[in-house]
Chain A
Amino acid sequence: MALSLGSSSSLSLASPFSALPGQAAKPPSISSSAAGKIFLNTKSIEKKHLRQFQKATKVLSYYGLTSPPYKLDALEPYISRRTLELHWGSIHRGYVDSLNKQLAKSTLYGCTMEELIKTTFNNGNPLPEYNNAAEIWNHDFFWESMQPNGGKLPWGGLLQQIEKDFGSFSNFRDEFVQTAITFFGSGWVWLVLKTNEKKLSIVKTSNAVCPLVWGDIPIINLDMWEHSYYLDYKDDISKYVNNFMDHLISWHSATGRIVRAEAFVNLGEPKIPVA
């Protein structure tokens, strides 16, 4: 689920499960004895993984590449398989590999991805690890912001919040599309929940900047780097954004994210009981 994006990408060094690159942590297997007691075979599993680890390369992997929650051709014809193969398989993976190489020589390991991003952003003087870490997080977020047969309208609380903060859904859609069309350079367009103003807002960031660094909570993002649309749309950004809004955007993920965000930001009116 989108909620645990941060932790799913970060695998701490403590457990040997996380030592092998690209592998998600597996729970220890449970075997039940004849008498109905359940044993956890953790010891044998740990030993097996440790042995595998020792045979594998000496490179420690701090963060893994998570795959999109759909096959690479699932977003056709709006985003082609080749684009995803390059975008996820080469570019996103490249960021993961670069970050792991950098962390091998730095003391910044052990954080969740979100903590790493905030730390390395360093209030606007980013450390070298920032670009890699933030781009990994942004791309993870982007894959989960899309789904096959997406688009259409949000519903329920999210739709109400959009209507409250933008006037209507079509206002929001127009503003999002306009922001993307007038985008210059490389970067991202976001629908964020601003924690201070307690409202949804559309922001654009350049290169790898992520609204997490300002304490805002992202709900949806759109990759405006040219590599994400050039093969499919060439320079027709308007078609790319409109297809994203109409056919790809995952309001399921967005709903999950705003539900989680409400634990941190009070969006409702306080109900004052009348005596």
Chain B
Amino acid sequence: MQHQVTSFASYGAFRTSTPPPPISPFSGAWRNKTRGIKTETGGTRLPRHAAIVAQLELKPLPYSLDCLEPHMTRQTLELHWGGHHRAHVVRLNNLIAGTDLDGKGLEDILLATYNKGNPLPAFVHAAQVWNHDFFWQSIKPNGGGHPSGKLMELIERDFGSFDTMLENFKQAAVTQFGSGWAWLAYKANKLDVGNAVNPCPSEKDNRLVVLKSPNAINPLIWNYAPLLAVDVWEHAYYLDYENRRADFVSVFVEKLVSWEVVSHRLRIAMEQAAERARKETREDDDEEATRSDAVEMYLDNESDDSETE
């Protein structure tokens, strides 16, 4: 998610799915809009009502709208990205404008509005914006195939085989009742208890898991690192597959998934998990060191028992 500092609020939302023509600094439109109002002394100032707001934008798709045909039609993408995803961005901007969440990163907004289980109204929009970004980046034209390297190794370690993992993933997607998402995530096994410290952290404690979540829920709130997501809200597949969700998910894993992106996310997740583990052991060591400094050694030897007669 990029932040765009703009001087007028209406720039955030476009009604059409194609971007507006670029306004060059040398055209009249730019001059009229950004140069502002002419003052009496001959200078210019920005119009007072246009506050400078940092707004979240609708990130463009990494491919064009008809690149995923016939697995995901142009019409679906226009509605899904241009309609649903865009609407969430607009509503999120409206809800956080002027609050202390304005200007924060998307993940920070997500975690803050989740509010530990009592979500604020902005949560669903923040989460859906994040989820959809994640989803668009997880797929590509001519996707599918098999992963390789560390990802394949971990899949085989944690699921037995690649096919088993895909089976689990499809099952999760198909059995998610109502709207929601199915995920492949990297879970660093850690209890959510204040002083839970793993004395010998190793990479073996972390594992890949398949899970499903309802509506807008996202595994970031449980501190998992998502690697892959499939949108099983009906709007994602109803125009192309009608009610055959299983067919949609099969096509998704066979023809659309970008395993390179998933591998890349896994690499980042593993680094972050290792970093967090290192930080925790370092903190633990620091704690012990300070504790030993604080302990006073009782050095009184006046009543040394060994010297009694």
B-binding residues in A (CB < 8 A): 86, 90-91, 131, 184-187, 206-208, 225-227, 230-231, 234-235
Contact = CB atoms under 8 A, between A and B. Distances in A.
A184 B87 CA distance: 12
Contacts of B164: none
Contacts of A86: 242-243
B234 A234 contact: no
A86 B79 CA distance: 21
Contacts of B124: 184
A186 B235 contact: no
B8 interface: no
Contacts, number: 48
Nearest to A82: B242
B179 interface: yes
A234 B76 CA distance: 9
B178 A207 contact: yes
B140 interface: no
Contacts of A226: 179, 233-235, 238
Given A185-B214, A230-B238, 14 more contacts: A86-B242, A90-B242, A91-B243, A184-B124, A184-B215, A187-B178, A208-B178, A226-B234, A227-B234, A227-B243, A231-B242, A234-B79, A234-B239, A235-B84
Contact of A235 (B83, B178, B242): B83
Determine chain A's interface SS by DSSP, over half rule.
mixed
Interface of B: 79, 83-84, 87, 124, 177-179, 214-216, 233-235, 238-239, 242-243
B242 A186 contact: no
Given A185-B215, A227-B238, A231-B238, A206 B243 contact: no
A230 B215 contact: no
Contacts of A90: 242-243
A91 B179 CA distance: 15
A208 B215 contact: no
Contact of A207 (B79, B177, B234, B235): B177
14 contacts: A86-B243, A131-B177, A184-B124, A186-B178, A186-B179, A186-B234, A206-B178, A226-B179, A226-B233, A227-B234, A227-B243, A230-B239, A231-B242, A234-B79
Contact of A225 (B87, B214, B215, B234): B234
Given A184-B124, A225-B234, A231 B179 contact: no
A226 to B, nearest CB: 4
Contacts of A185: 178-179, 214-216
Contacts of A235: 79, 83-84, 87, 235
Nearest to B128: A184
Contacts of B234: 186, 225-227, 230
A227 B245 CA distance: 11
A186 B248 CA distance: 19
